[in-house]
Structure 1
């Protein structure tokens, strides 16, 4: 089976600096409602609102990350629901051996701000190239990669992830875009051309709730009991356990493998037609 054939990435609805709305529109316009259980909206942030992210269009240098206050992407997991993945990963969370790339859970990431060419991107590739510096060979001095990793290992830069079912996101997301205005009302970035988004069940602005990561560092998993539609907050290791299966691999090794994979193998496993990606064994959304 194949992915739903999306229009070329460049023609999807997009507004710079409004990733939360870009993802909403991708789901609303292109995902079959019957397949929503196979999609998860992922908010990236932390209580410091400082998350380093690589392979982003806005990067000035490929070896230095963008530091976002938050970012939003979409995960596609054709074989399981989010609930299944969370339960399954908990039961296998104690794996001591690394899981090879070829046996990881089939999950893919839609990120409209990434420079990674494959769209959607297999989760292991996205994980390696987005949350880890480029391989040592990309640096003038290989030690610079180690120093960069040390700098980014500070708690203030630790990434956390809010996992929200796509159906809940469509129903409950609402944003007045106030966070994109200066005190005098000037836009920090031009607003999208589409109308303000108001989910069918949204009775108040919920955007600030989605990017509220206060206290996430003090617990390994934060479940929003009072507002279930806000999903669950997990750390980076847990994110891999959910969408990648097992413990995180050596990121530099995984990155090198992803970047040096032969073109023949890529074209065989992920044939592309009209700039849209087809992945074997995936369920048609």
Structure 2
């Protein structure tokens, strides 16, 4: 059973982290490397998982987001990216640099506060999750930030100061392949092949809201 928010907060010493608003995928990429290099996570990042959140409409309702202008932190993103760290047993914590919740937060607490239930007539806004093992993501992800330029080549938001991210195989941009999350690709049954797929597939596995907690409980 996961600990209380206070227990998890005291159990993790948070290193200084880089954050550039509206570049959550790069923030999480650097987060994974920093957690591993500072000893907060395993040196090989094997206890970390990168999760892209989106849907067919590219409209996902989330709460407790710093960019929101609402008191409850409600916002609709086209996509979002977080990091989940598998702690001892079945305990997991979420690192979300854009959240106003305790940082990090226990996974079940984070989901209950951030991914709140939607009305039955809003099923098209259900949040879908692409889960990728962090070591695979760190090796494979590349972004030249083209998605943040308008049709005239102007930045829609100031870019990070660090260099663009290039994958180990030389790929300079594959962010769209991570962002493309469709209901038709959802897994139906969680089994060993799904768990193994997260560790072996470059773009991970897509699962629904009700499957995420179960997935982390099945990890070896």
Alignment RMSD:
2.6
Alpha-carbon distance in 1 for matches of 2:14, 2:109: 20
**After superposition, what is the alpha-carbon deviation per residue over 1:153-194, rounded to whole angstroms, capped at 9, x for unaligned?**
513211100000000111000001111010001111000010
Cα deviation for residue 123 of structure 1 reads: 0.8
The CA deviation string for residues 60-106 of structure 1, in whole angstroms up to 9 with x for no partner, is: 113472110000000000236xxxxxxxxxxxxxxxxxxxxxxxx30
Q: CA deviation at 1:35?
A: 4.5
Decide which structure has the larger Cα Rg and report it: 1
Assess, with a 3 A threshold, how the Cα gap between structure 1 residues 182 and 128 changes in structure 2: closer, same or farther: same
How many residues are treated as equivalent by the alignment? 199
Preserved contact between residue 143 and residue 175 of structure 2 (Cα < 8 Å): yes
CA contact (8 A) 2:187 2:206 kept: no
Q: CA distance change for structure 1 residues 124 and 188 in 2, over 3 Å: closer, same or farther?
A: same
* Shift in Å, 1:199: 2.5
What are the Cα deviations for residues 5-25 of structure 1, in whole angstroms up to 9, with x where unaligned? 333xxx410100000000111
Mapped contact 1:59–1:65 kept (Cα < 8 A)? yes
How far, CA to CA, are the matches of 1:160 and 1:44 in structure 2? Answer: 6
Instruction: Give how far 1:202 is off.
Output: 4.5
* SS in structure 2 at match of 1:34: coil
Partner of 1:119: 103
Q: Deviations over 1:120-173 (max 9, x none)?
A: 10111101110127xxxxxxxxxxxxxxx427x513211100000000111000
Which residue number in structure 2 is paired with residue 110 of structure 1? Answer: 95
Separation (CA, whole Å) in 2 of partners of 1:191 and 1:129 = 29
1:200-279 matches, cutoff 5 A: 200-216=168-184, 220=188, 228-243=201-216
Q: 2 CA distance for matches of 1:228 and 1:217? A: 14
Question: Please, what TM-score do these two structures have when normalized by structure 2?
Answer: 0.80
Match of residue 68 from structure 1: 77
Aligned equivalent of 2:14: 6
Higher normalized contact order (CA 8 Å, seq sep 6+, divided by chain length): 1
Q: Secondary structure at the match of 2:138?
A: helix
1:169 matched to 2:137? The reply is yes
8 Å contact from structure 1 (residues 40, 76) kept in 2: yes
TM-score normalised per structure 1: 0.63
SS in 2 for 1:230: coil
